[in-house]
Structures are given as C-alpha cells and as structure tokens.
Amino acid sequence: MVIHGIPQPSPIDTLHAVWTTSKILSVSTNRTQLLRYAWLSIAAAVATITLKAAAWVYTGSVGLLADAAESLVNLVAAVVALIALKVAAKPADQTFSFGRAKAEYFSAAVEGLMIFAAAGWILITSVERFLKPQPLDNLGLGLVISMVAAVLNGVIGLVLIRTGKQHRSATLVADGKHLMTDVVTSVGVLVGVGLVMLTGWERLDPILGFAVGLNIIHVGIGLVSEAAQGLLDRTLPDEENEKIIEILRRNTTGETRFHGLRTRAAGHLRHASVHVLVPGDWTVQRGHAFTHDIETQLQHALPGIEVVTHLEPVEDPESYSDMPEGQLPIDDGLDLPPGADTN
C-alpha cells in the first residue's frame, strides 16, 4: 500500500512486527525475573549452612559435617548461577549476535563439578570416620536442626526446578537439582544419625554418608552431561520436534513442501531452520506471506522459538542439492523433486 508516494507496511508485516516486539519484551522480562530466584537460592544456601554447621557443632557427626560442606558448595554454585543468569539476560549485540543464552550451560557444568567436589569430600571424610569411629553427642537436637534445613532445601529446590523448566533455564534447573541432592544427603544423614542413636553402632554414620556421596556423584554426572550436550547444540526435545514436524506436514500440499529441518536449543532459547519449497511462478509477496504464516504457527506452538526459513522453487532440482546434514525427517519422498524416481 502507498500513501502520498510512501510505501506503507502491509497488515501482515504490521502484525509480524507487533508479534516480534511483544515476544522480545516478554522474553527479556522473564529473564530478569529469574534473577529473583537466583537470590532466593543464595538465601536458602546461607540459611542451611548456618543450621547444618550448628548441628555439626552440637553432635560432632561426620555426616552432619559433610552435609554442611555440601551446603557451602550450594552457596558457591548459587552465586555462579546468579552471574550466569545476569549474563544470559543481556540482549544480543554486534559481538554476540545470537545473545548469550549459552552462559547458562557453563553454570550447569560448574554446578556439576561442584557436586563432584562435595561428593569427594563426603567420601573421604566417611572413610576416615569409618576407620576411626568417634562417639556422637546431642543427637536429638542435631536431628531436629538438620531436618529443618532439609525441609527448607526441598521446598526451594522444587520451586527452582519448576520455574527453570517453565522458563527453559538450565541454570535454575541445575541449581534446583543441586539443592535436591542436598536433601538426599540430609535424609541419608538423618537416617544414619538416627540409627546410631538407636543402636549405638557408630560406624553406621560414615557408611550411610559414603552411600549418599555415591548418589551425589551420579547426579553430578547427569548435570555435566546435559550441559555438554547444550554447548554442542543438541536438537530440541523429541516432543518439541514433533510439534514442528506436525505443523510442516499439515501445510504440505501438492504445491508446497518442506525439508532441511534442523533445530537446536541454546539455554532458554529455541532455534529452528527449514527450507520452504513453493511453485516457482509464485510472486515474492505470496511466498513471503506463506513462510510468514508457517513461522507464526511455529511460534504459537513453541513460544519464543526463532525460525529461519529458506524459500526455494519446488520444481528446481537445485533446491534438493543443498540439504544440510543432520536434518530431521519430515516425510518420505519430500527430499526429491516432484516426479523423481524413488526406486
């Protein structure tokens, strides 16, 4: 449309601009809000360190000492998570054209390594106490204090995991899982200290501490593995890829096709690229309107996804010679020109 000789944007372009702007503002606001949860994690770590240190002082239990040491690791990890979230929340610029969302994976990896450090401390201390058992004091009070700390960690951990999954934050999910491993540690310690109090067998304390340490190592391996896969541009989860493929199949007709689909996750961000094949005699405006409609459908199905489309003529054999490696299958036969021999 032209007014006074000046080209005006079409209604489609106007709606696209409004959608894109609101999406960017929403994502930016959400990332800023996540910083509050990082501060919540730091506050929880400080509180639990204080409680568990008091329990250790009262009882002399190596299990409670190891539990307090892991909470100290939680505090360091929470500070790292806060830094990572602040970096990831920064908008894209000319230096980082795709943003800094992958900073969250570094945080998750650091948290995994910190978990290994805590587990190593627990294992070594447990072995030493097993070889040289010592009597424990004030076990009842120590159990109560440790139980309060475990409940606090459990509640905060569940909040962080739920919020992290909701906003696709690898940092908050890792931080929440770290707190939940602390809960597992506390439960193991509580059981061990309780049994020591009932049976008088002091070696139960380090035995259960050792078992808890092995479980923590297992959790740490999972966190480091997930972070490594994110840094290596792992594709989106299967259920999200299926949503994309279903939309593309639904828009496949006798005239239009899709291939070359690739997806990846970058922290809380989703990315997808696909080749869109339309009749060569379509106008540029018609092709643009079709690809824009596809992008809009994908963005409604997966809010926040960034979609890159490559428009090609469906009848040109050259359109089928540049398909990328690792593409996700959309439908059988769609990687060949119309009428090509599939045998």
Each residue of 8-28: pLDDT tens digit?
445 444 434 433 434 443 444
- DSSP per-residue codes, 250-262: HT--SS-EEEEEE
List the structure tokens of 37: 């949860």
Number of domains in the chain: 2
What was the pLDDT predicted at 178?
A: 78
User: Which CATH number do you get for residue 285?
Assistant: 3.30.70.1350
pTM above 0.85, yes or no: no
What was the pLDDT predicted at 20?
41
Q: Please say which residue of 190, 210, 231 terminates a domain.
A: 231
Residue-wise pLDDT for 107-165, tens only, equals 778 877 877 887 888 888 888 888 888 777 777 888 888 889 889 989 999 999 998 88
pLDDT for 309 equals 94
Residues 271 and 175 in one domain: no
Look at residue 333 in the predicted model and tell me its pLDDT. 53
Statement to judge: residues 56 and 23 lie in one domain: yes
Same domain, 19 and 58: yes
Residues 122 and 138 in one domain: yes
Structure tokens at 196: 């020591």
Beta strands 269-278 and 305-313 are parallel
Q: Are residues 64 and 181 in the same domain?
A: yes
The amino acid at residue 12 is: I
- For residues 90 and 129, membership in a common domain is answered with yes
Distance (Å, whole) CA 249 – CA 252: 5
pLDDT computed for residue 338 by the predictor: 57
Question: Residues 77, 157: one domain?
Answer: yes
Domain containing 146 equals: 12-231
Judge contact between 70 and 182, C-beta under 8 A. yes
Q: Could you give the C-alpha distances from 63 to 117, 157, 215, 246, in angstroms and in order?
A: 16, 21, 14, 52
pLDDT for 291 equals: 94
Q: According to the model, what pLDDT value does residue 31 have?
A: 57
85 and 126 belong to one structural domain? yes
Please tell me whether residues 278 and 199 are part of one structural domain: no
> Which residue's entry shows tokens 């969302």?
101
pLDDT in tens, 42-53: 888 889 888 888
Residue 4 lies in a domain: no
Q: State whether 278 and 218 are in the same domain.
A: no
The CATH number linked to 179 is: 1.20.1510.10
Which residues of the chain, if any, have pLDDT below 70? 1-32, 332-343
Nearest to 86 by CA among 171, 176, 179, 178: 171
